[in-house]
Amino acid sequence: MIQYENKNVLASAFQDVIKYGRIDFKSRRLGNFSIMAEKQRLKANPSLCRDCQACTLACSMVHEGQCAPSLARLRVIKDMQKYQFQITYCRNCSSPACVEACPSNALPIDHRGVPILDDELCTRCGKCLDACPFDAIYFHQTRDRYLKCDLCVARAEGPACLQVCPVKVFSLINKRG
């Protein structure tokens, strides 16, 4: 639920939905509002990871139709001497720096509170990549496009990484705000 200060602001929000298919949160022209909806977020426990890469393969298959970790929207970084792994993925921040940095509004926030990268609006400027504090946006040189986790928005079952991980590294949580 979105709470607005006045009805004029609410009318502007509805106009945004009609015009853009979403509320234009980036512009901040809507006045003071607060997002009260629950936001879905992916949580990872890298200490459980065994580097099977099932998550990256499933992610690339869902989004690109091929098993290629370089096309995944998350990365597993290995420290083989310590046998430790770091998993980089979008945290769906409360105030996403990537959304604020994007000059072309190519990262609208969907009904789940997830910034979705709109490849058609993206100008390839890289400001979203530079702004992300988690290094969770990737540029794929060959495809000339940015990749970012969208929690498998097109899958009714939810994120593929969560479903295929044999050691349950990932969990999906809902947070207010």
> What are the tens digits of pLDDT across the range 61-105?
999 999 999 999 999 999 988 889 999 999 999 899 999 999 999
Reply yes or no on whether the pLDDT at 108 is more than 70: yes
- 86 bridge partner residues: 77
Identify the domain containing residue 3 by its residue range.
1-36
Under DSSP, is residue 103 helix (H, G, I), strand (E, B) or coil? coil
Q: Phi and psi for 175 in degrees, rounded to 5?
A: -130, 145
The number of domains in the chain is 2
Q: What mean pLDDT is predicted for residues 17-28? A: 46
Identify whether residues 59 and 90 lie together within a single domain: yes
- Site of tokens 């990484």: 161
pTM score: 0.75
What is the residue-averaged pLDDT of the chain? 83
Predicted local confidence at residue 75, as pLDDT:
97
Identify whether residues 29 and 87 lie together within a single domain: no
- Dihedral of alpha carbons 132, 90, 74, 148, sign: negative
Note the pLDDT tens digit of each residue in 24-61: 444 433 333 344 456 889 999 999 999 999 999 999 99
Identify whether residues 18 and 71 lie together within a single domain: no
Identify whether residues 17 and 84 lie together within a single domain: no
Note the pLDDT tens digit of each residue in 155-172: 999 999 999 999 999 999
Identify whether residues 142 and 69 lie together within a single domain: yes
Identify whether residues 32 and 80 lie together within a single domain: no
